[in-house]
Amino acid sequence: ERTQRRAFARAPEAVADMDDFDPTVTNSPKFRLIAVQCLFSITAFATMLSQRHGLAGPDEMTLEECGPQGCGYQKFSNFKFLIGVCVVYAVFSVVAMAMYLLRRVPPPVTELTVYAVLNVLLFAAFAMSATECNITIVDPVYPVCKRATSAKASVAFAFFTWLAVCFSMLFTYKEWKDVDYHVPGSGNYEFVPGVTSGSSYPPQASSSSYA
């Protein structure tokens, strides 16, 4: 009985949440960019996870233990770091898209701060993994990732993810600037991330009104 009562009590909240659902936000360039980032980050960690052998490193002793097929990503701390960062970003992008769909978008300054932190982590993961891939252990002309196609693809998609996040930061910075400097007193105006621009805001008050 209590369970039924709770279900009935929560029903209006569920209906309200459905009312907040806005599928038109998928037309936003920013939303689509986040979806692309999600795909890139999933591809980055999935391809690295598939690299079970073929890596010429991380050192001679470990490589000898791995055998003639080479080592897997598990032997490389930098590659495991890349996997961790890309998993975190994939989860973040899914949550971000859900928030957009439910109109629960945080303020641009908060969003920009989160993007900045994740951007630094993504670049660090890419740079460390790319450096690791080009280290030579066995032979001066035989880098770690010479036969590791999946690892090289993972590093490439990590770079694409980072680059796409840079564009998201530009979108978010523009929104932050527009909200702070171009919409004074427009409390009833509904801001749509990635769609609304400065030119589409309601007419601004004349300069004489601020005198």
For the segment 21-43, what is each residue's pLDDT rounded down to a tens digit?
A: 778 888 888 999 999 999 999 99
Neighbours of 131 (CB within 10 A): 12
Answer whether 82's CB lies under 8 Å from 126's CB.
Answer: yes
- Note the pLDDT tens digit of each residue in 77-101: 999 999 999 999 999 999 999 999 9
Closest CA to 159 of 112, 119, 113: 119
More confident residue, 167 or 189: 167
Distance CA 167, CA 209 (A): 36
Give the chain's largest Cα–Cα span: 79
Question: How is residue 55 annotated by DSSP?
Answer: B
Can you give the pLDDT at residue 61?
Answer: 87
